[in-house]
Structure 1
Amino acid sequence: MTPDDALATSARLMSEFAVRTGLSAPKQRAERYLWTDAFAVCNFIELFRRTRDEKYLRYATDLIDQVHRVLGRYRDDDARRGWISGLDEEAGRSHPTAGGLRIGKPLKERDANEPVDERLEWDRDGQYFHYLTKWMHALCQAALFIGEAAYARWAVELGERAFAGFARGSRSGEVVGLYWKMSTDLSRPLVPAMGAHDALDGFITFRQARHAQMRLGEGAATALSGAIESLSLLCRHRDWTTEDPLSLGGLLFDACRLCRLPGEERSNDADLLEELTSGCSNGLMAFLAGRQLSWPSSQRLAFRELGLAIGLRGLPIIVAAVAQPRSRFEGRPSLRRSLDRLLPHESVSERIVEFWLPRAQHHDASWQEHCNINDVMLATVLAPNMFLLAAGSPGLAKSSRS
């Protein structure tokens, strides 16, 4: 597929998504889902960057507003009303992420006295930490590209609330983990187990948000510092090996961001990047050995494989950052070895696209079951720069119009 074809396909997928979910059809009920919408914001900005078509930038900013207006408030079938944060209408509009953001699942959250049904829990609402960090990433990218400081401020406020709500403390007050899923108002855990990569996502994304806010002339170098320190400790000396394709892609995405973040005193970024690439290398070899990419579509989930494809698109970014003269990652032969093991498999990304693209075009049943998330993540694979790369100098959107 040529770059022009990839861009055109990404644009078609995202335009259909905008109509289908009520973004470009104001009279239609908005269908918002936080994970998918985080990718979508980055995709729309990338489409604007590449085409200079103003409608894509409008879609991105409208989507941010709609997510906050829908997922920052209680559901229609909830007895509670208003902003999750409890702020009044005016304050809530000024601080839409201050209470966190709902997932956007089809069923309302489980009541406090309701027994757990593991199957139903997947379809119940609440808040996920790793969805919140994805949205923080989208806000940071939009903030820097558009030059809108409020987006970066909202990302930091979301990080503050997410950490306060999800952190699990010991009796001594030390943070020993993060809850996987919390109630909408963050008052009680719905799934107490910790996600394997939640602390890593938080550690990197919180630093990204702080950096974005400072680049836009707001915030302080100490913003989120306590949370970042606690999350850093949760990431120490971990084996990040996983055979799950979505998790592998997430690790590569995190590695891609980590190597581009400004270095910080007392940070162990080089050790962490070495551990991440080692885990990705071992995990990818195990995943490929399992031959899951040869299974029929009925036994596979497109969005999980597309997550891996997105992460693999970031490999050249990691390699380039590590190769920079006087990089904080130089003198790490094991890091170089892990990257050398990964690079020959960069083409797995194309293999995944070649398998799923015809199924998307023909509305195959295996695709349609998760149509929105599949379409948006496929669009990201086809035009990944705004999701994977730093957004550049603040206000690029404004300069591109002049």
Structure 2
Amino acid sequence: MNKEESVTLAEEIMLDFAAQTGLSREEKPQRRYLWTDAFAVCNFLELYHRSRDEEWLVLARSLVDQVHHTLGRHRPDSAKNGWLSGLSDEEGERHPTRGGLRIGKKMDERAPDEPMDERLEWERDGQYYHYLTKWMRALTRTSRVTGEPFYLRWGMELAQTAHRAFRFSDGPDGSLGLYWKMSTDLRRSLVPSVGQHDPLDGLVTCCEMRCAARHFPDEELPDLEREIRELTEMCRGREFSTGDSLGIGSILADACRTGELIINEAFQDLALFQHVVNDAVVSLEDSGGSFLDQPAKYRLAFRELGLSIGLKGAARLARLFEEYPDVRGGELAEWLQPRLEAMLWFHKLSGRIEGFWIEERRKGTEHWRSHGDINMVMLATSLAPEQFLRSD
């Protein structure tokens, strides 16, 4: 499938998503889910960037508005109402992310006195740090594409809120970490374990927002220095390698974004960047794409498509350093070369993943439809990934 065909299919998918989730058709009930919607915003922005058709930008703006007014407020079945932040209606409109954003699960979060059920917890609402970082990125890209600073402000305010709520200090040495899942009001941890890649994703995203703030020199935007400093500390000595396809895609995408930030002189920790790249290569080599031989019933589209997106990020990283080979005196590009070659050896997996799930979508199989919304948007991102992967 050539690039033009990929973009055409991405357009078809995103129009279907907008209609089916109540974004473009008022008669459809709204179906908002933070992870899915973050990818969808980036997709709409990419389709606008390519076509300059204002309708895509209208959809991106409308989706941001729906997410804030749905997931930035208490659930309809909650005893509470209004903005999660507790701000007045008027003040909440100006700062819709100050209280964080709900995941968007169908079930309410468990009560404080309710015992933990690991299986059921996946179906319950609350707030995930790694979903919030995806939304920060969507807001940052919206700000860059529209030239409007309030989107970036909302992203930076969300970064401060999330860091303050999810951050914890543990052990005699006072080491820092991030809880995996918090309650909707951000007052208690629902899953106290730590996400493997959350600090890295948070760090790269905060650096990206700080870089984007350069485009608005006359705006007084939030200061993320503390968040960046503490997230950097959390990343020290952390193991990023993983056998999970979505996790591999995540570190590949973060490596791509970090490389672009280095080129833009917005990320200084070269040792951390090299560590991320090395762990990405190890993860790819250990995984090997063996899952591709499994039937659909043993696979999850959105997890594999996350890997496909990350592989597109590796290709983008290679192009960036071909265009800017003299960054940091050229030594970084020289160090990267063999590792990029190792990453790109696996690039063919991306086409195989896309082809498999395009066919499953065409057939409308139950396995595809069971996670239909997230599968749709991540397939579209894989087909047209630039806005999701950019960090300039």
Question: What is the TM-score normalised by the length of structure 1?
Answer: 0.92
CA, structure 1 residues 329+336, in 2 after alignment: closer, same or farther (shift >3 Å)?
farther
Partners of 1:278 and 1:211 in 2: CA distance: 25
**How far apart are residue 243 of structure 1 and its match?**
1.2
Contact 1:74/1:80 (CA < 8 Å) preserved in 2?
yes
**How far apart are residue 49 of structure 1 and its match?**
1.6
| 1:306 alignment counterpart | 305
Question: Does 1:374 pair with 2:375?
Answer: yes
Secondary structure of the structure 1 residue equivalent to 2:328: coil
**How far apart are residue 161 of structure 1 and its match?**
0.1
After the TM superposition, which residues 103-142 of structure 1 pair with which residues of structure 2 at under 5 Å, given as runs?
103-142=103-142
Contact 2:152/2:209 (CA < 8 Å) preserved in 1?
yes
Contact 2:7/2:384 (CA < 8 Å) preserved in 1?
yes
**How far apart are residue 236 of structure 1 and its match?**
1.5
| 1:394 alignment counterpart | none
CA, structure 1 residues 187+221, in 2 after alignment: closer, same or farther (shift >3 Å)?
closer
Secondary structure of the structure 2 residue equivalent to 1:181: strand
Contact 2:97/2:155 (CA < 8 Å) preserved in 1?
yes
Secondary structure of the structure 2 residue equivalent to 1:192: strand
| 1:292 alignment counterpart | 291
Contact 1:238/1:275 (CA < 8 Å) preserved in 2?
no
Partners of 2:348 and 2:254 in 1: CA distance: 20
| 1:389 alignment counterpart | 390
| 1:354 alignment counterpart | 355
| 2:13 alignment counterpart | 13
**How far apart are residue 173 of structure 1 and its match?**
9.7
**How far apart are residue 325 of structure 1 and its match?**
3.6
| 2:51 alignment counterpart | 51
| 1:194 alignment counterpart | 194
Partners of 2:94 and 2:148 in 1: CA distance: 14
| 2:211 alignment counterpart | 211
| 2:255 alignment counterpart | 255
Contact 1:313/1:346 (CA < 8 Å) preserved in 2?
yes
Q: Which amino acid aligns with 1:284?
A: L
| 1:98 alignment counterpart | 98
Secondary structure of the structure 2 residue equivalent to 1:96: coil
**How far apart are residue 336 of structure 1 and its match?**
2.8
CA, structure 1 residues 17+176, in 2 after alignment: closer, same or farther (shift >3 Å)?
same
Partners of 1:249 and 1:125 in 2: CA distance: 25
Secondary structure of the structure 2 residue equivalent to 1:4: helix
Question: What is the TM-score normalised by the length of structure 2?
Answer: 0.95
| 1:399 alignment counterpart | none
Contact 1:380/1:387 (CA < 8 Å) preserved in 2?
yes
Q: Structure 1: where are the runs of 5+ without partners?
A: 392-402
Secondary structure of the structure 2 residue equivalent to 1:180: strand
Q: Structure 2: where are the runs of 5+ without partners?
A: none
Secondary structure of the structure 1 residue equivalent to 2:243: coil
Partners of 1:244 and 1:138 in 2: CA distance: 24
| 1:343 alignment counterpart | 344
Secondary structure of the structure 2 residue equivalent to 1:103: coil
CA, structure 1 residues 147+172, in 2 after alignment: closer, same or farther (shift >3 Å)?
farther
Partners of 2:240 and 2:272 in 1: CA distance: 10
Partners of 2:281 and 2:242 in 1: CA distance: 10
Secondary structure of the structure 1 residue equivalent to 2:193: coil
| 1:29 alignment counterpart | 29
Aligned length: 388
CA, structure 1 residues 45+264, in 2 after alignment: closer, same or farther (shift >3 Å)?
closer
Partners of 2:5 and 2:235 in 1: CA distance: 40
Contact 1:250/1:308 (CA < 8 Å) preserved in 2?
yes
Partners of 1:163 and 1:214 in 2: CA distance: 22
**How far apart are residue 212 of structure 1 and its match?**
1.6
Partners of 2:339 and 2:15 in 1: CA distance: 38
Partners of 1:58 and 1:256 in 2: CA distance: 28
Contact 2:213/2:221 (CA < 8 Å) preserved in 1?
no
| 1:158 alignment counterpart | 158
Partners of 1:173 and 1:155 in 2: CA distance: 31
**How far apart are residue 339 of structure 1 and its match?**
1.6
Contact 1:73/1:82 (CA < 8 Å) preserved in 2?
yes
CA, structure 1 residues 320+6, in 2 after alignment: closer, same or farther (shift >3 Å)?
closer
After superposition, give the CA deviation of every residue in 1:281-304 in whole Å (9 maximum; x if it has no partner): 111111116x11100000000000
Q: Which amino acid aligns with 2:327?
A: S
After superposition, give the CA deviation of every residue in 1:155-211 in whole Å (9 maximum; x if it has no partner): 000000000000012488955100000000100000000100000011110111122
Q: Which segment drifts farther, 42-51 or 179-188?
A: 42-51
Runs of 4+ with >6 A deviation:
none
Partners of 1:192 and 1:5 in 2: CA distance: 44
Contact 1:214/1:221 (CA < 8 Å) preserved in 2?
no
Partners of 1:8 and 1:196 in 2: CA distance: 35
Secondary structure of the structure 2 residue equivalent to 1:177: strand
CA, structure 1 residues 221+12, in 2 after alignment: closer, same or farther (shift >3 Å)?
closer
Partners of 2:338 and 2:237 in 1: CA distance: 19
Q: Which amino acid aligns with 1:182?
A: M
Contact 2:208/2:266 (CA < 8 Å) preserved in 1?
no
After superposition, give the CA deviation of every residue in 1:253-299 in whole Å (9 maximum; x if it has no partner): 1111111113358x31x21221111111111111116x111000000
